[in-house]
Structure 1
Amino acid sequence: MLVFNIILGGIEMANTPKEVIDESQFKDDLYQAVNGNWLKDATIPDDHASTGGFMDLNDNIDKTLMSDFDKLPDADLKDTNEPFQEFAKLYALAQNFDKRDKDGAEPIKPFLDKIESISNFDDLNSQLKDWTLSGLPLPFGYWVDADMKNTKINALYAGTPGLFLPDRTYYENNNPAYDQLMPVFSKMVTSLLVLADYSSSEADEIMESAKKFDSSIAPHVKSAEESADYTKSYNPRKFAEFAKTSSNIDFKGYADSLFGNAPEQIIVTEPKYYEALDSFVNEDSFSDMKNWMLVKFVTSASSYLSEEFRQTGSTYSRALSGKKVATPQKKSAFYLASGVFGQTVGDYYAKKYFGPKAKADVEQMVRNMIKVYQQRLENNTWLGKDTRDKAILKLSKLELHVGYPDKIDPIEYKYKVTPQGDGGTLFANVSEFRRITKEARFAELGKPVDRSRWEMSANTVNAYYDPSKNIIVFPAAILQAPFYSLDQSSSENYGGIGAVIAHEISHAFDNNGSQFDELGNLNDWWTDEDRKHFNQLADNMIAEFDGLAFAGAKVNGKLTVSENIADAGGLSCANEAAKNESEYDLKAFFINWARIWRMKATTEYMQLLLNIDVHAPNELRANVQVKNLDDFYSTFNVTEGDGMFLPEDKRVKIW
Structure 2
Amino acid sequence: MANTIDETKIKTDLYDAVNGDWLKTAVIPADHSTTGGFTDLADNIEKTLMSDFDDLRSGKLQPTNPEQTEFKKFYTLTTDFAKREKDGSAPLKPFIDRINGLNNYQDLSDQLADWILTGLPTPFSFDIDSDMKNSTTYALFASGPSLFLPDKTYYAEGNQAAAQLMPIFTNMMTQLFKLAGYTEDDAKTIIDQAEQFDRLIAPNVKSAEEGADYSKMYNPRSLDDIAGSTDKLDLKAAITALIQGTPEVIITPEPAYFDALNQLLTDANFPLLKSWLLVKTVSGLSSYLTEDFRQTSTIFGRALSGRKEARSQEKAAYDLATGVFDQVVGDYYGRKYFGEAAKKDVHDMVVKMVNVYKKRLANNTWLGKATRDKAVLKLDKLGIQVGYPDAITPLYSKFKVTTAEDGGSLLSNVMAFTRIRNEDEFSKWNQPVDRTRWEMSANTVNAYFHPFHNIIVFPAAILQAPFYSLKQSSSENFGGIGAVIAHEISHAFDNNGSLFDEYGNLNNWWTEADNAHFKDLAQNMIDEFDGLPFAGQKVNGKLTVSENIADGGGLSCALEAAKGEPDVDLKAFFINWAAIWRSKATKEREQLLLSIDVHSPAKLRANVQAQNLDDFFNTFDITEGDAMYKAPADRVKIW
> TM-score range with shorter-chain normalisation?
over 0.9
- Pairwise CA distance, 1:620: 0.3
**What amino acid is the match of 1:611?**
S
**What amino acid is the match of 1:564?**
N
RMSD over aligned Cα atoms: 1.2
Match of 1:13 in 2: none
2:580 aligned with 1:580: no
Q: Distance in 2 between matches of 1:161 and 1:85?
A: 35
Q: Give runs of aligned pairs for residues 399-478 of structure 1, distance below 5 A.
A: 399-478=383-462
Pick the aligned partner of 1:213 from 176, 182, 197.
Answer: 197
User: Are the equivalent residues in 2 in contact too, given 1:77–1:85 (CA < 8 A)?
Assistant: no
Q: Distance in 2 between matches of 1:641 and 1:336?
A: 53
2:348 aligned with 1:364: yes
Percent of counterpart pairs with the same letter?
60
Q: Give runs of aligned pairs for residues 302-381 of structure 1, distance below 5 A.
A: 302-381=286-365
2:10 aligned with 1:26: yes
2:230 aligned with 1:246: yes
2:511 aligned with 1:524: no
Q: Distance in 2 between matches of 1:496 and 1:535?
A: 28
Q: Give runs of aligned pairs for residues 531-610 of structure 1, distance below 5 A.
A: 531-610=515-594
Match of 2:57 in 1: 73
Q: What SS does structure 2 have at the residue aligned with 1:222? A: coil
User: Are the equivalent residues in 2 in contact too, given 1:20–1:37 (CA < 8 A)?
Assistant: no
**What amino acid is the match of 2:550?**
A
Q: What SS does structure 2 have at the residue aligned with 1:70? A: helix
Pick the aligned partner of 2:248 from 264, 273, 283.
Answer: 264
Match of 1:90 in 2: 74
Match of 1:4 in 2: none
- Pairwise CA distance, 1:460: 0.5
Q: Distance in 1 between matches of 2:175 and 2:3?
A: 45
- Pairwise CA distance, 1:404: 0.4
- Pairwise CA distance, 1:246: 1.0
**What amino acid is the match of 2:12?**
D
Q: What SS does structure 2 have at the residue aligned with 1:179? A: helix
Pick the aligned partner of 2:122 from 109, 116, 138.
Answer: 138
Distance 1:188 1:488, change over 3 A: same
User: Are the equivalent residues in 2 in contact too, given 1:21–1:37 (CA < 8 A)?
Assistant: no
Q: What SS does structure 2 have at the residue aligned with 1:154? A: strand
**What amino acid is the match of 2:123?**
P
Match of 1:500 in 2: 484
- Pairwise CA distance, 1:459: 0.4
**What amino acid is the match of 2:481?**
I
User: Are the equivalent residues in 2 in contact too, given 1:343–1:457 (CA < 8 A)?
Assistant: yes
Deviations 1:183-218 (A, max 9, x none): 000000010000000111000000001010000000
Pick the aligned partner of 2:106 from 106, 109, 122.
Answer: 122
Q: What SS does structure 2 have at the residue aligned with 1:165? A: coil
- Pairwise CA distance, 1:355: 3.3
Deviations 1:299-319 (A, max 9, x none): 010111100000000000000
Q: Distance in 2 between matches of 1:579 and 1:355?
A: 29
Pick the aligned partner of 1:50 from 19, 23, 34.
Answer: 34
Deviations 1:304-343 (A, max 9, x none): 1100000000000000000000011111111111111111
- Pairwise CA distance, 1:18: 9.5
Match of 1:103 in 2: 87
Q: What SS does structure 2 have at the residue aligned with 1:284? A: coil
- Pairwise CA distance, 1:359: 2.1
**What amino acid is the match of 1:512?**
N
User: Are the equivalent residues in 2 in contact too, given 1:358–1:486 (CA < 8 A)?
Assistant: no
Deviations 1:261-282 (A, max 9, x none): 4322211111101001111111
Q: Distance in 2 between matches of 1:523 and 1:42?
A: 47
Q: Distance in 1 between matches of 2:150 and 2:103?
A: 30
Q: Distance in 1 between matches of 2:586 and 2:624?
A: 34
Match of 1:153 in 2: 137
Pick the aligned partner of 2:217 from 223, 230, 233.
Answer: 233
Pick the aligned partner of 1:163 from 127, 144, 147.
Answer: 147
Q: What SS does structure 2 have at the residue aligned with 1:276? A: helix
User: Are the equivalent residues in 1 in contact too, given 2:446–2:462 (CA < 8 A)?
Assistant: yes
- Pairwise CA distance, 1:245: 1.4
**What amino acid is the match of 1:91?**
Y
Q: Give runs of aligned pairs for residues 636-651 of structure 1, distance below 5 A.
A: 636-651=620-635
Q: Distance in 2 between matches of 1:165 and 1:132?
A: 23
User: Are the equivalent residues in 1 in contact too, given 2:2–2:575 (CA < 8 A)?
Assistant: no
- Pairwise CA distance, 1:513: 0.2
User: Are the equivalent residues in 1 in contact too, given 2:543–2:598 (CA < 8 A)?
Assistant: yes
2:614 aligned with 1:630: yes
User: Are the equivalent residues in 1 in contact too, given 2:594–2:600 (CA < 8 A)?
Assistant: yes
Greater displacement, 56-65 / 134-143 = 134-143
**What amino acid is the match of 1:202?**
D
Q: Distance in 2 between matches of 1:134 and 1:390?
A: 44
**What amino acid is the match of 2:561?**
A
Number of equivalences:
639
Q: Give runs of aligned pairs for residues 609-628 of structure 1, distance below 5 A.
A: 609-628=593-612
With normalisation by structure 1, the TM-score equals: 0.96
With normalisation by structure 2, the TM-score equals: 0.99
